Amino acid sequence: MSNPIEYAREGKLVTLTMNWPGAVNLMDADFIPSFRETLDRLEGEKDDIAGVILRSAKPTFFAGADLKMFLGMDRSDPQALFDLIEGTKAELRRIEKLGKPVVAVIEGSALGGGFEVALACHHRVVVDHPKTQLGMPEVTLGLLPGGGGVTRMVRHLGVQAALPFLLEGKLMRPAELAELGLAELAPDAEAATRQALAWIEANPVPVKPWDQKGYKIPGGKPYTPALAQLQIAAPAMLLARTKGTLPAPEAVLSAAVEGAQVDFDTASRIESRYLTRLVLHPVSRNMIGTLFLGMNEIKAGAGRPKDVPKFRVQKLGILGAGMMGAGIAYAAATKGIDVVLLDTEQSKAEKGKAYSEGLLDKGLKRGKVSEERRAETLGRIQPTTRFEDLEGCDLIIEAVFEDPDIKADVTRKAEPMLREGGLYASNTSTIPITDLAQASQNPARFIGLHFFSPVDRMQLVEIIRGRETSDESVAHALDFAAQIGKVPIVVNDSRGFYTSRVFGQYVNEGAAMLAEGIPAAVIENAALQAGMPVGPLAVLDEVTLTLPLHVEASAKKAGAEPKERHPGLAVLERMVDLGRTGRSAGKGFYDYPEGQPKRLWSGLKDLSPQQGRGEYDLQELRDRLLYAQAVDAAHVAETGVLTEGRDLNVGSILGLGFPVWTGGAHQFIEFVGREQFVQRARELAARHGSRFEPPAGLLKGTDLQEGQYAGLGE
């Protein structure tokens, strides 16, 4: 294979243009030989060159490491992985020690390993484009910036200033990078080249600061008084945030602090050792498989019916201007879509528009939204009470109260307003789409679009295919989700679909524990220690305690209630009888004193005669909360509601808050091991009820030629 780094020399200037085959430049198996060959030539000619510009032939500068290659590494041979990491860094170190100025001209995003390549250069000039992102998000995938990122950022900024970019994977815009002194801005590519040439001329023999005698890390070494306090506080703060479920942040902190106490090359080896450990850790493999590979497959259109022309929404109708409808309006308007926001009263419709105004005002104060963009976005939202204003809509989304009769009424009124070939969707979270489509004149163009609240922050959209929904409608719904920047999963029709159904298992299990006498604080903390972002009782307060009871009543009405009633529902009934229905009522499992943090209601101890018995196994509580969801996700797959492991995983993390360390509800089963999972689930079923009984097909699926599970999670 020819070298993907194009070498062009004009006089005493060398321009290296990275042009990997494929869509992006990638730190893959060809990276080391390509850079080695290029640097061999540069070193051979360095006496006759003045400087080097490193740039990209792609819209992005460099996309980072090939994570598929990492996943394919032999876990039994950590030395081979360590040597690969060290070999990559050795080539970047040669750039630093070339003795001639090397300037990175960055015309697009540089993330992860790509940002580390830029950091190894002596200087960086970045084109100031609002969509350009820069930084090292490795920690969000269970890794650390192990191509020199930790070591160089600490030496550029100091331990304390570097940690937010390393521990949180915080990304930057070009102006932020320039403010940190890590680059200079250029208005366009031509100016960037001129600025790079000027820097080369002004710095003929550059030496990195840490290679100069007398260099001191900004802010001092970790044993200085100020940083000694940080070393005491930071691990505790980290543990409070991760609950010990994520090894990467701890490794980042260790590599940063330990590396700051030694010379550059020793610090780099320390960083490599931590990266080796993380790459081979099952948590990173879980996270990469779902949050990177699975997510990218979905965003690339995996599962979209083929040979269907692309669908683009220019005018969107939304029925219902409550929080959900208002959130959808904001998500669409910010992407350039004209929105008709309809409600029964003009004041309600105006209030729905005001929700967008509030979000835009916050963005304006933070400098993320311009006055022009604010006005433009608000101008796209038309609040109204007139169904006639929906005339010509490409898509209408119904987001009214969860009552089939109300939904049927607005469907009959709004659907005729669609343009020819338009799509009609319901935002229902539980009612089968096939049932709702009975009110439609064209069930083939009727689909479910289940958004999550708050829409402006939640990425997931469940696309629900009714019995008569056409492939074309599914493709068009996927196109709309992509248009507004959401992550879609396609679910076959059933009561509760996927996320609402599994969510109910989580919150009901928390209520059942309360009935057993488990202290509420223990329940909430067990959930957090398992990796859930919020405890089940706190979540119930947010969605209102009447919701699970309403879902049960609807299922009973449709003849679809489970054989065994969930024991947590009796607790919810008792709370509702007491008038404690959740946060919206000012009281639920928690009290909400004005001007003070919420606190667990002291009366919870009276909900069970066993309250305060003092007998519980914390690991069992954690298992119950995770297995309740994973077992139900397995039933979802068994019944064909959703059978892609990728979608089960992404949907559970984005829609349910299932712990990221697991890689998702399905990957959790693979992580535990199917036989072990089934055994543990049956133990829980014997002690706590049939809701923990795993589906019969789960172990059959071990043979990849059989069962609904064949190939899932691979």
List the CATH code of the domain at 5-280.
3.90.226.10
C-alpha torsion 616→617→619→625, nearest 10: -30
Q: What is the pLDDT of residues 227-257, one digit of tens each?
A: 888 888 888 889 889 999 999 999 999 999 9
Q: Which helix (H) or strand (E) holds 51?
A: strand 51-56
Q: How far is CA 642 from the centre of its chain?
A: 20
Per-residue pLDDT at 565 exceeds 50: yes
Per-residue pLDDT at 705 exceeds 70: no
- Cα→Cα distances 316→134, 419, 484, Å: 34, 11, 12
Q: What is the pLDDT of residues 88-141, one digit of tens each?
A: 999 999 999 999 999 999 999 999 999 999 999 999 999 999 889 999 999 999
In 10 A of CB 303, how many CB atoms?
A: 17
Per-residue pLDDT at 704 exceeds 80: no
The whole-number pLDDT of residue 493 equals 92
Confidence of residue 282 (pLDDT cuts 50, 70, 90): very high
Task: At 445, list the tokens.
Answer: 């163009």
The whole-number pLDDT of residue 1 equals 61
Among 534, 528, 507, CA closest to 691: 507
Q: Give the span between the Cα atoms of 484 and 657, in whole angstroms.
A: 21
Collapse the DSSP code of 103 into the 3-class scheme (helix H, G, I; strand E, B; otherwise coil) and give the result.
Answer: strand
Helices (H), ranges, 579-664: 618-638, 645-651
CA angle 147, 150, 152 (to 5 degrees): 85
The whole-number pLDDT of residue 608 equals 72
How confident is the prediction for the chain on average, in pLDDT?
A: 93
CA angle 567, 571, 574 (to 5 degrees): 140
Q: Give the span between the Cα atoms of 493 and 475, in whole angstroms.
A: 16
Per-residue pLDDT at 710 exceeds 90: no
Give the CATH H-level superfamily of domain 315-493. NAD(P)-binding Rossmann-like Domain (3.40.50.720)
Q: How far is CA 615 from the centre of its chain?
A: 37
pTM passes above 0.85: yes
The residue-averaged pLDDT of 381-409 equals 96
Collapse the DSSP code of 266 into the 3-class scheme (helix H, G, I; strand E, B; otherwise coil) and give the result.
Answer: helix
- Cα→Cα distances 698→208, 502, 626, Å: 57, 17, 17
In our burial notation (b when 16+ CB lie closer than 10 A, e otherwise), range 77-96 reads: eeeebbebbbebbebbbbbb
> For the domain with range 500-700, which CATH number is right: 1.10.1040.50, 3.30.540.10, 3.40.1710.10, 3.40.50.12280?
1.10.1040.50
Name the residue ranges covered by the structural domains of the chain.
5-280, 315-493, 500-700
